[in-house]
Amino acid sequence: MNIKKVGIFLVISSFLLISNGASAAEDNSRYFVKTNSTFWKKSFNARHVFSGGFTADLTDFQLKLTKVFNIEIEPVRRLSILEPKGKSALRPVPTESVPWGVKAIYDDKNLLKSSGGAEATVAVLDTGIVKHPDLKNRIKDCKDFSSPARALVEGKCDDKNGHGTHVAGIIASDGGDDGKGIFGVAPETSLYAYKVCSNTGTCWADDVAAAIRTAADSGANIINLSLGSDAQSLLISDAVAYAVEKGVLVVAAAGNDGPYQGSIDFPAQDANVIAVGAIDSLFIVPDWSSRGANETTVSYVVEEKDIEFAAPGVNVESTWKDGGYVTLSGTSMSAPHVSGLAAKLWQKDSLTPSLSTRELLQKFASDILPLGDDDMSGFGLPQL
């Protein structure tokens, strides 16, 4: 550091102490700061520390400092919950106790009650989960990674959006204490409710990455990501690789950007992540379900940008934030059908439970037209 820089440094050091608390999470204000310096972590009020640096919400003044001191930064990407394609009115009681999608997964049109999932824990990284009567006994942990003020708030995961509650209900709703509610795919499974998206449905990549790592470190077996974006985030790719290495199965919605080839969202396009597209009750893939690159890659081998499965994603009824039920469409609804089935089939006695479970899902997949491994539905619909 030269004399001039030391001078500036001394002036700003005192100023930083004043300006520190004012760094609010405004649009595009979050950066990955590529230094491990304790001084800068403190000065910039580091949010999450990763290898090679930390993230922080930077004010204009702090941004100028990074230039003065030649500290490399890059903007942190934002993802979002996948915008539902249509939503019904709120109902106080469900239309059906076992929705069509759960029946399709069980391959049983007359199913009266679902079961299973007790061997697995599913982390739902979303807008939170409310203590809906059909979910309150399933939620075993609750954390908020989305607060602008604090990187992690324990015991808080309230869902003012509704999306996370809907996704969680598809996986694990258990009919409630009176059994008159709705049933998800795996009603005995445990849920970690990790709020990573704001109430409007936007999710910072560093918060998602931190939650993926926390889920893996806390014993989650499956992570459901009904969120995405068009561009890759290395923070998330690294976190997914870390979780997969620890034996976690990561499932993500393919996206609602179809019907164009390769319209699959990130992180679903990651080969480590199970990408799930949508089908309707006639087992037809809707136009809006994102497409993979399967037809240009090796058939029945999951590579980057491949769709792996298709699952119910049109007119799916599930739990909602106000304690009732709504019907939504989107690949956000498809991914949790596969996460729920993975929980139900969880191969806990295998040496590699997540790999064995993924292989079983592939083995159990029924082809969806067109024939074979295709851009829309990959291996097909996994069914019992």
Q: Give the Cα separation of 240 and 227 in Å (integer).
A: 14
- Shortest Cβ 76–Ca ion spacing (Å): 22
Tell me the β-bridge partners of 318. 326
Looking at the Cβ atoms of 107 and 177, the one nearer to Ca ion is: 107
- Shortest Cβ 287–Ca ion spacing (Å): 17
Which region among 197-205, 207-215, 354-362, 364-372 touches Ca ion (by CB under 5 A)?
A: 364-372
Residue in this structure with the two tokens 């074979």, named with its chain if needed: 372
97-156: which residues touch Ca ion (CB under 5 A)?
none
Distances (CA, A) of 80 to 62, 103, 183: 27, 29, 27
- Shortest Cβ 275–Ca ion spacing (Å): 4
- Shortest Cβ 341–Ca ion spacing (Å): 17
Q: Give the Cα separation of 123 and 73 in Å (integer).
A: 31
CB 377 within 8 A of CB 313: no
CB-count burial class (<10 Å; 0-12, 13-18, 19+) for 97: buried
Q: Which residue is nearest to Ca ion (CB)?
A: 297
> Contacting Ca ion (CB under 5 A), which of 24, 298, 322, 384?
298
Say whether 126 is catalytic: yes
Does 92 sit behind a cis peptide bond, omega within 30 degrees of 0 on the bond before it? Answer: no
**Pick the catalytic residue: 332, 339, 354, 377?**
332
Say whether 332 is catalytic: yes
- Backbone φ and ψ for 322, nearest 5 degrees, come out as -90, 15
Which region among 134-142, 146-154, 217-225, 301-309 touches Ca ion (by CB under 5 A)?
A: 301-309
> Contacting Ca ion (CB under 5 A), which of 102, 186, 275, 285?
275
Looking at the Cβ atoms of 133 and 380, the one nearer to Ca ion is: 380
> Contacting Ca ion (CB under 5 A), which of 126, 306, 317, 375?
306
254-273: which residues touch Ca ion (CB under 5 A)?
273
374 touches Ca ion by CB under 5 A? yes
Q: Tell me the two tokens of residue 110.
A: 């007359």
Q: Give the Cα separation of 196 and 201 in Å (integer).
A: 9
> Contacting Ca ion (CB under 5 A), which of 72, 74, 96, 303?
303
296 touches Ca ion by CB under 5 A? no
DSSP labels for 273-310? SEEEEEE-TTS---TTSPP-SGGGS-TTS--TT---EE
**Pick the catalytic residue: 163, 166, 334, 354?**
163
367 touches Ca ion by CB under 5 A? yes
Distances (CA, A) of 161 to 1, 129, 158, 164, 195: 49, 9, 9, 8, 11
Q: Give the Cα separation of 262 and 275 in Å (integer).
A: 12
Which region among 15-23, 129-137, 190-198, 300-308 touches Ca ion (by CB under 5 A)?
A: 300-308
- Shortest Cβ 291–Ca ion spacing (Å): 12
297 touches Ca ion by CB under 5 A? yes
Q: Give the CA radius of gyration of the chain.
A: 22
Does 382 sit behind a cis peptide bond, omega within 30 degrees of 0 on the bond before it? Answer: no
Looking at the Cβ atoms of 37 and 232, the one nearer to Ca ion is: 232
CB-count burial class (<10 Å; 0-12, 13-18, 19+) for 41: middle
Say whether 337 is catalytic: no
- Shortest Cβ 182–Ca ion spacing (Å): 29
345 touches Ca ion by CB under 5 A? no
Q: Where do contacts with Ca ion occur on this chain (CB under 5 A)? A: 273, 275, 297-298, 301, 303, 306, 367-368, 374
- Report, as residue numbers or ranges, the catalytic residues: 126, 163, 332
